[in-house]
Amino acid sequence: MRKVFVSGCYDIIHAGHIQFFREARALGDFLTVCFASADVLWLHKQRKSSLPDEHKRALLAGLRVIDEVVVGEGTEEGIDFREHFLRIRPQVLAVTEDDKYAPLKKALCAEVGAEYVVLPKTPPEFPPISTSEIVRYIRAPQAAPLRVDFGGGWLDVPQFARVGTYIVNCAISPTVSLRDWSYERNAGLGGSGAWALLNGKNGVTAELDLGVGWQDPAVIAETGLCVWYSGAVPKLELKHNADFLRRRMALFWTGTPHDTPGNVHNPRNFDAVERAGKLARDAVWASDLEGLAAAVRESYAMQLDEGMAPLPGDPTGTLALPTNSPESVLSWKYCGGGFGGYAVYLCANGEVRDELCKAEGWRAVEPYVLSGV
């Protein structure tokens, strides 16, 4: 009988493990699987086991492809299974291509004349996933806010960062979930950052990988009305409860999706971006709606200079505001990279905001704030 031995943490069993067990079992007639005990897992990874050892043993033993299950309790990192290996004396020790303990395992194989076999990567039966990814997915929130930005956008893109400048944005509700997404897609509200968070991903890394900035996942995870320092990574200066924005914000859907990555390298007035960010930052510190509206107007003027179409309420455009008190609509701008998506409007009072949102294409949003303020 040709005996095959494999070892690992197997802390959360997933389809990739099953595929590995099948491929290892095909190397012989009898498969022994050793998993690291809870004490060993804590010793070497400082991580609590997902299941008590007896439960994990029963789970593995219930798999048809496995013939025997043992528990590794040795304290030598990488080969906690030494005692079992020397007792069983298998003909094969099977490992994956990313085995970090090859020298130790090859030396152990030499003691019993076993073959050290590296299983080549084969096309996965399912998309690969790691234990860490599973844990992040389990811990991911069930719902997440989106966001609107007021000033300093683009200064969160590492290549455009400026020392001493600011980005100001606010998490908003209604929230979204993997099953309920009531907003338009590609809308300039940080949807990709929320999607990453809901799927247990690192939202900041995901956005930077797209070649854009980190402001969306940063405020979506933080919540509240936030002032951030410009830079390569998020650094929070202030989180405000945004009480002065309640019943003051409306969104207008322009009817056209937008593409932030596609607009990264447009000619852009970064001095104006910086001014808008500073105005918005000072307004947040003072809880000043008028000051924030001034920052939004500065941002919108820059967007017009980039070639974006006038929004409803702009005297140079053709679209009027759906309200009898247009003077009470203080300011507006495209969200995110602009050129489509939603635009955010700031209103002097809740009555005008609610009147706007009775019209088609408009919707009310509120600040979304969790703990920490």
Q: What is the CATH number of the domain that holds 254?
A: 3.30.230.120
Reduced to 3 states (helix: H, G, I; strand: E, B; else coil), residue 91 is coil
How many whole angstroms separate alpha carbon 14 and alpha carbon 50?
A: 13
In this predicted structure, the answer to whether residue 266 has a pLDDT above a threshold of 90 is: no
The chain-wide mean pLDDT, for the chain, equals 92
Whether residue 293 is found in the same domain as residue 203: yes
* Domain termination residue (choose one: 109, 130, 151): 130
In this predicted structure, the answer to whether residue 79 has a pLDDT above a threshold of 80 is: yes
Average pLDDT over every residue of 115-125: 83
Which two three-digit tokens encode residue 237? 């200066």
Residue type, 331: S
Q: Which domain holds residue 126?
A: 3-130
* In-domain check, residue 373: no
146 beta partners: 172
Whether residue 341 is found in the same domain as residue 207: yes
Whether residue 102 is found in the same domain as residue 156: no
In this predicted structure, the answer to whether residue 127 has a pLDDT above a threshold of 90 is: no
Whether residue 38 is found in the same domain as residue 151: no
253 and 184 in contact (C-beta within 8 Å)?
yes
The DSSP H or E segment spanning 169 is strand 166-176
* Domain termination residue (choose one: 102, 130, 158): 130
User: E strands along the chain, which residues?
Assistant: 3-8, 30-36, 68-72, 92-96, 115-119, 144-151, 166-176, 225-229, 236-240, 249-253, 329-334, 342-347, 362-367
Whether residue 217 is found in the same domain as residue 302: yes
Which two three-digit tokens encode residue 286? 């003072």
Average pLDDT over every residue of 220-239: 95
Average pLDDT over every residue of 353-365: 97
Whether residue 272 is found in the same domain as residue 202: yes
Which two three-digit tokens encode residue 354? 């609610």
Whether residue 215 is found in the same domain as residue 361: yes
Task: Give the tens place of pLDDT for each residue, 171-217.
Answer: 999 999 999 999 999 999 999 889 988 988 876 776 666 667 899 99
Whether residue 204 is found in the same domain as residue 329: yes
- Percent of the chain past pLDDT 90, that is, above it, reads 76
Whether residue 114 is found in the same domain as residue 149: no
Whether residue 182 is found in the same domain as residue 37: no
Strands 236-240 and 3-8: unpaired
79 and 108 in contact (C-beta within 8 Å)?
yes
Reduced to 3 states (helix: H, G, I; strand: E, B; else coil), residue 195 is helix
In this predicted structure, the answer to whether residue 129 has a pLDDT above a threshold of 70 is: no
* Domain termination residue (choose one: 84, 106, 130): 130
Average pLDDT over every residue of 296-305: 97
312 and 252 in contact (C-beta within 8 Å)?
yes
Helices (H) and strands (E) in the chain, counts: 12, 13
In this predicted structure, the answer to whether residue 126 has a pLDDT above a threshold of 90 is: no
Q: Which residue has the higher pLDDT, 23 or 207?
A: 23
Which CATH number characterizes residue 101's domain? 3.40.50.620
Q: Which residue has the higher pLDDT, 270 or 372?
A: 270
- Number of other CB atoms surrounding residue 288 within 10 Å: 16
Task: Give the tens place of pLDDT for each residue, 82-111.
Answer: 999 999 999 999 999 889 999 999 999 999
How many whole angstroms separate alpha carbon 291 and alpha carbon 327?
A: 16
- Please tell me the total count of domains within the chain: 2
**What is the structure's pLDDT at 60?**
96
